[in-house]
Amino acid sequence: MTTLTLALVAHDAKKDDMAEFVAMHENEIRPFALFATGTTGGRVMERCPSLSVTRLKSGPLGGDQQIGAMIAEGRIDALFFFVDPLSPHPHDVDVKALMRVALVYNIPMALNRATAERLIASFAGSGTPLSRVGEVGCGAAG
């Protein structure tokens, strides 16, 4: 069975929420290869030291773009991005680009804890986390 890859990203006000979420679902998340933007990955590793998390650059320093590139290369199977809709984000263009590429490549994307809970439940209930999508979503330019 292929190891599937989960990307973790969280805005500043949601980083602790992401770390808490991962801690609550550590056993369900353990089978995934985990990639995270820098600070988010650090918080998750502090909370769950037994998980192996590959930390990329901080979001504003290119981490969002690194994850977007991995999605475009078919290396990310799902994205958990806990968004703070009430605070301004200087790198909002990068955030929108990351969400756009996740939509274009049709990967499951949870933008809040409630959706992430549903995805985790579906992973656990199916026996396998999810199947690889493979092809670009509808309407994508080639």
Q: Which of 12, 16, 17, 64 is catalytic?
A: 64
**Side chain identity at 19, as an amino acid letter?**
A
Q: Show the tokens assigned to 45.
A: 């590793």
20: left (phi over 0), alpha (psi -120 to 50) or beta: alpha
Q: Strands 33-36 and 109-110: what pairing?
A: unpaired
User: Distance between CA 9 and CA 3 in Å, rounded?
Assistant: 20
- The one-letter amino acid code at 5 reads T
List C-alpha distances in Å: 109 to 6, 36, 103.
10, 14, 8
Reply yes or no on whether 17 is catalytic.
no
Annotated catalytic residues are 64
